[in-house]
Each structure stands twice: as C-alpha cells, then as structure tokens.
Structure 1
Amino acid sequence: MRKHRKLAILAKIEPVYGTDSVPTGAANAILATDVTLTPLAGEDINRDLLLPWLGHQGIELVGNYVQMEFSVECAGAGAAGTVPAYGALLRACGLSETITPSTSVDYEPVSDGEESVSVYFNQDGVRHVALGCRGSFQLDIAAKQIPRFRFQLMGLLGTVTDSALPAADVSAFQKPVPVSNANTSFSLHGAARISERVSFDLGVDVVPRFLIGDERIQLVARQSTGSVVVEAKAMASANWFDIAQAKTLGALELIHGTVAGHIVRLDAPSVQIGRPTMGETNRITNYALPLIFQPQSGNDEFTLSIR
C-alpha cells in the first residue's frame, strides 16, 4: 500500500537539455498542492491488419512523455534580491531570471534559448523521473484567498523505480499572505481599481516533438492573457466599453505583499481590454474584463518581480 499524500517533488535546471541534473531533496524540493501526474502520456497506434478473423491486434505506445500539474503558493523569497524557491519552475516556462542583489529577482519572457528542468516525482517510495521538462503557468489572485501559481509541465519519460522518499527541505518557501485590501493593490489603465479577482495566464504553447534524430519538449508560441473582475463605477470613472472598442492600451500593476522579501509584483505596460461582461457579487454590479498582454518592442509584455 502506498499513501497518496506522501509526496516529494524535486526540480532542478538542466545545463544540457534532457540530461538529468540530479535534483536533491536538500536543494531542489518543491512545496506543492493539488497535484496530478500522468506518468505515461503519448499516442496509441495499431497495425490495422486485414485478417480472416476479427479481434483486437494490440497497440504500440509511441511518443511517450510525462505530464504533471500542480499549484505553488505565491509568495516572496524571504529577502529582497533572493531567488524564490520556485524560480526554476518559472525559468522552465520560458522566462529569464535577472537578479539585482538586495532589490529584486525579475522574470521576463524570452523567445529563444528556453531552459528546462529535471523533475523527480516520488510518491511514497516510487520515483518517476521526467527530463527536459518545460511548461506554462497561471497566476490567480482572488480576494480572501491564498494566491497561487498553477504549473503545467511536460517532460521526456525517464525511469520509474522504487526509491525511498527523499528528505525534502522546503524551508525556502515562504508563508503566503492572503489577498486583501491591506496586502494587495491593483491598478489598470492609469488608476487604482477595486477588484475581486485578477488572473494571469502565461499562455505558452508546449508540444512534445518525437522525430528521427531528436526528441524534446518544445515551447513553440506564447500569447499571454488574463482577466479581472472590477467593481462597476460610473462611465466617467472608466468606460470599459469605449476602451475595448478603441483597442486602447494601458498599463497594469499588481502588487501582493507589503514587506521587503515578501512581495510579488506583476507589471505590464501594454494591456488591451477585451469584451467586457456584466455580473454581480453580493448584489453589487461588476465587470469581467479580459486582458491581452501585448509586447512593446519584443519580450517585454510583462515583468514578474519577486522583491
């Protein structure tokens, strides 16, 4: 019998794509929640032979890879200018990492040279190894909730073996603060907004490519989007319908946390508003606004800053 909740996830950047970087519990453990693993994804093919009798002819399992999905709490690194414990995951989603000592660690999108991670997924003594892992994520900031990243990763199929659970050191993960007026601020198109929820979707398109001479998980496209639910005000405050129809671009600023070392900030300079829809919460009218994050001069549609 294996217990489902006894789990260790380790992730470490690969200097060479697809080569096991050998993550350890002491240095590379990930503190995750709401975890799912598809240990043998891929395609099924059959020979489809015509024979004098009927019946299944069996299948071939081809293009085998690993899929995993999990959430990580959104919090700072404990000290400004320190890489957060989940930094390797952000880099595996096609983001660069720039460290400014004692100030911040900034993550910005790239369009080539994307990195990858080796992941060890050990569930109560059975270890699944995934190499060359890349993926995408969403960030959800909702009032009265713990903010979380939701990662989706794909990796090349490694070994599945009996292996003792590692001693996972997750002390680098900081305790998050809930989303609230005191802890969180949000502005859109030049003014602070009262909002119920802000979401961001990195929107990376990840494909498994199994070819003659090469096998890899490849990032092939990126279209970052999001949404926000804002309290409805008079049109003089913000006419979101005119803004959407005019395709006006404006800045977005989301700051969660107030103490240095525990701040996560999302800045985007050119955000387009999609088609607004009306709704209500507690009998108060609101607008749900789709967000489209556009680059200005390339790979600059947003900066995720850990401060």
Structure 2
Amino acid sequence: MADKIFMKNALLLGKAESSYGVDPTPTGSANAYLAEDMTLSPMEGETVDLSYYKGFFGSDISLQTTHYMTLEFTLPWIPGTNTPGTASHFDPLFKACGLAATAMASAVTGTPQGSNTDAITLASNASSTNNIYRGVIIDISPTGEKAVLLDYNGTTKRAGTMTKTGVWDVNPTNQDDYSICQNMAYDPVSKDQGSIAFYYYLDGILHKMFGARGDFELTAEANNMQRIKFTFTGLYGGIADASMPTPSYSAFNTPVPLNSTNTMGGIHGCNMSGNDTGVQLKKFTFGLGNTVKHRQLVGSEAVVISDRMAKGSVSLEMTPMALLDWFDRIQESTTGIIFLQNGTEAGYRTNIILPKAQLMKPKYSNDDNVAMLDMDFKAIWTSGNDEVRLLEM
C-alpha cells in the first residue's frame, strides 16, 4: 500500500520576485513561513464545454483554457526581526498585496519647539514630507512620556498625538528631547505592485506558484492575538515529487497578546483606555479589499490587482452619549482616525492607522450582559494611496 500523504506535513516557502513570474528559488533556511490554516487549490481555472450532435446522448470533453493556483494561510502579526527599521518576513507579503515600504532605519531625534495637550511641534530640521511620521511612536525624555503620532505637517512641523491615557500627562517643552522610533511603514500603491513566488510542500509533493498577488484581512481581539489571513492567486508553476527542505523559523517571534498592558489605540478621538474619556475595544477587523484577477490573453498571463476598497469593523463597549454621539457621526458621515498599536518593546511593536475612517451600520450585541456597539467602517483616502498605514517598530 502506498504511503499516506498527511496534511499536517506541509511546509510553505515564499520569496519576493525580482522579475514578474520568474522563479526566485526560495529556500527553507531563508524563506520558510510558520503559518496556520493553510489551504492550497492546486488547479483553478476556466473550462469550455464541447457539445456535439452525435446521434446519442452523453457528455463531451471539456477543455481547460486557463489554470492557476490559489493559496490561503494565516500568520500572527508580530515583526520577524528584533531590529526596527529592517524588513521582516511580512515585507514580501505586504508588497504582493499592493503596499509599498518606507524604511526609517535610524531614530529621529530633536528638541520640541512647543506642544499642547494633543500635539507636538518637532524641531525645525524635521522632515518636510507630510505624514512621514504618521503612526510612529515618539518618546519624550526625561519625562518618559510616549505617544503615537497621528499626522504630521512637513511645513509647520506640527504632529497630532495620542498617548495611552489620551493626552500628555506632562506636556513636552523645549527643555525636553524626543526620539521618533525606527520603523518599517507600508502604504498602498495603485500600480507597480510587487509579486511573490511560493513553494508549497505537501508531505513530499512540491507545488510551485509564481507571480502571486493577493489580499489580506487583519483580525485583532482582546485577550487573543493579531492574525493576518492572506489570500493569494498565482500562476501555475508545476507539481512534482520533491524532498522537503529543512526550514528555519528563527525569525518568528512569539506573538504579543492584545490587552490593557500591551495595547493602545483610538477611535474618532476616544482613546482605548476605558477611562472617562475612553472606550474599551473587544474586536477590530480590517481588510484591504483588493480586487485580484488572473488574466490570460493571447501573448500574456498575469495576476493583477485592479482595485481596492478597504474596510473593516469594530466592537466596543457602548458608552454614554456624553462621551461621543456615535450615531450623529454616522448620520453626518463624519470621518475620524482609528489606530491600534500593539506591543511595548522595540522590535515587537505594530500599528495600523486609518486617517479617515467612516463609521457605518451600528448595532448592539450582548457580551457577558454588557451592551456592545458593533460598527462597520470604510477607510477613505485623503490625497490618494493613504487610507491605511501599517507599521512594524
């Protein structure tokens, strides 16, 4: 009897392509992914049915006109490097989902020019690029204050801020110093997206997928962890028996759970602290909403990302109307910032920030007999390709 093929004896390798659809030869030592819930469809595609008049009933052969692969898997979102500002194993995945990377390899330091309770004016030699520091953590010394920079005006050097308690406990002054942390930031692009090649080993059977592009959905839930589910479509690269390489998972850190110690954030100006000016978040989801299509014409074959409609949802404990009238904001189509930053140590921190999130479709739910407010949201662009930013710090 032939040996059985076991589903758990699966191994996934992935490597960015330098040229579209050309095998970059991923290796187990450098390109293995420690993934959950992997599902491969080895031969998707379209068929054309033949239907002859032949003097009797019966089916005729169908012609397979296109064939491609699809792959789904989930990864806990935790940077795979302890050196902030250095690309992690998420880098080729994010790029193949239509994001572009900006590396800040060194901390940006200086002395504030001024501040108020929810902003800071950086030094005159700070960057002139608008929003280059958006979503990044700033540390103030000697007070020890920390905040997330919500926006940044490259002309005035003014940055909006939110601390874990909402506003500065001690306002920064020109007697203090600041440090903006090293980071990798990922912003959407509408053309020239990256692509990735996958090797999927199923207990000694190698499936090759090239030119893959895709989409993802992030789920973050209190007392759990952040997970990103990736869905890729790629060109069929062949299936054959092959020895499984030895994988290295040294780049994969232990996930950081979401809780009141590790996590901070804000929704439309309310910080996630649960105090008199804050809210308590139970669950957050976000999806890029890419339109991913396999296209084969005479003379060409590719997987393309042809549109993007980013959206998600939040579930939080219902708050008194005096804190914020959520229903008025929905009725008036008012937009606001949503962000969720997780992790406290350099190299283990992530942030997702949506500068213009429009809340929609409110409804109540019951959680331990506590009234919850569940809302959908859309991520709206401001200048273009800026409706979301992901950061690893």
Q: Normalising to structure 1: TM-score of the pair?
A: 0.98
- 1:202 corresponds in structure 2 to 288
- 1:178 corresponds in structure 2 to 257
Q: How far does residue 16 in structure 1 lie from its aligned partner after superposition?
A: 1.0
d(CA) in 2 for partners of 1:145, 1:78: 22
Q: Are residues 1:72 and 2:83 paired?
A: no
Residue aligned with 1:275, SS: strand
Q: How far does residue 40 in structure 1 lie from its aligned partner after superposition?
A: 0.5
Q: How far does residue 44 in structure 1 lie from its aligned partner after superposition?
A: 2.3
**After superposition, where does 1:90-105 map in structure 2 within 5 Å?**
90-102=94-106, 103-105=182-184
Q: How far does residue 79 in structure 1 lie from its aligned partner after superposition?
A: 2.2
Instruction: Select which of 2, 9, 14 maps to 1:11.
Output: 14
TM-superposition CA deviations, 1:77-98 (whole Å, max 9, x none): 3221121222211111000011
- 1:82 corresponds in structure 2 to 86
Asked if the contact 1:277/1:289 (under 8 Å) is kept, the reply is yes
Between stretches 197-206 and 56-65, larger displacement belongs to: 56-65
d(CA) in 1 for partners of 2:82, 2:243: 30
- 1:111 corresponds in structure 2 to 190
Larger radius of gyration: 2
**After superposition, where does 1:292-307 map in structure 2 within 5 Å?**
292-307=378-393
Q: Are residues 1:217 and 2:303 paired?
A: yes
d(CA) in 2 for partners of 1:116, 1:131: 8
Q: How far does residue 51 in structure 1 lie from its aligned partner after superposition?
A: 1.7
Residue aligned with 1:26, SS: helix
Q: Are residues 1:161 and 2:230 paired?
A: no
AA paired with 1:161? A
Q: How far does residue 197 in structure 1 lie from its aligned partner after superposition?
A: 0.3
Asked if the contact 1:84/1:173 (under 8 Å) is kept, the reply is no
TM-superposition CA deviations, 1:226-262 (whole Å, max 9, x none): 1000110111112111100101011111101111100
Between stretches 125-134 and 11-20, larger displacement belongs to: 11-20
Between stretches 218-227 and 162-171, larger displacement belongs to: 162-171
Q: How far does residue 179 in structure 1 lie from its aligned partner after superposition?
A: 1.4
RMSD: 1.0
Give the share of equivalent positions with the same residue, in percent: 33
d(CA) in 2 for partners of 1:19, 1:58: 33
TM-superposition CA deviations, 1:95-135 (whole Å, max 9, x none): 00111114001111000101101110011110000010000
Asked if the contact 1:130/1:156 (under 8 Å) is kept, the reply is yes
Q: Are residues 1:44 and 2:47 paired?
A: yes
Residue aligned with 1:90, SS: helix
Q: How far does residue 54 in structure 1 lie from its aligned partner after superposition?
A: 0.7
Q: How far does residue 222 in structure 1 lie from its aligned partner after superposition?
A: 0.2
Q: How far does residue 71 in structure 1 lie from its aligned partner after superposition?
A: 0.1
d(CA) in 2 for partners of 1:249, 1:86: 29
Give the number of equivalent residue pairs.
Answer: 307
d(CA) in 2 for partners of 1:82, 1:129: 28
- 2:161 corresponds in structure 1 to none
Between stretches 184-193 and 149-158, larger displacement belongs to: 184-193
Asked if the contact 1:108/1:303 (under 8 Å) is kept, the reply is yes
Q: Are residues 1:137 and 2:216 paired?
A: yes
- 2:313 corresponds in structure 1 to 227
Residue aligned with 1:209, SS: strand
TM-superposition CA deviations, 1:180-208 (whole Å, max 9, x none): 11111121111113110011111111011
Q: How far does residue 217 in structure 1 lie from its aligned partner after superposition?
A: 0.5
Residue aligned with 1:298, SS: coil
AA paired with 2:308? R
Residue aligned with 2:361, SS: coil
Residue aligned with 2:66, SS: strand
Q: Normalising to structure 2: TM-score of the pair?
A: 0.77
Q: Are residues 1:245 and 2:331 paired?
A: yes
Residue aligned with 2:324, SS: coil
d(CA) in 1 for partners of 2:103, 2:246: 28
Q: How far does residue 15 in structure 1 lie from its aligned partner after superposition?
A: 1.1
- 2:61 corresponds in structure 1 to 58
d(CA) in 2 for partners of 1:49, 1:96: 51
d(CA) in 1 for partners of 2:368, 2:318: 13
Q: How far does residue 62 in structure 1 lie from its aligned partner after superposition?
A: 2.0
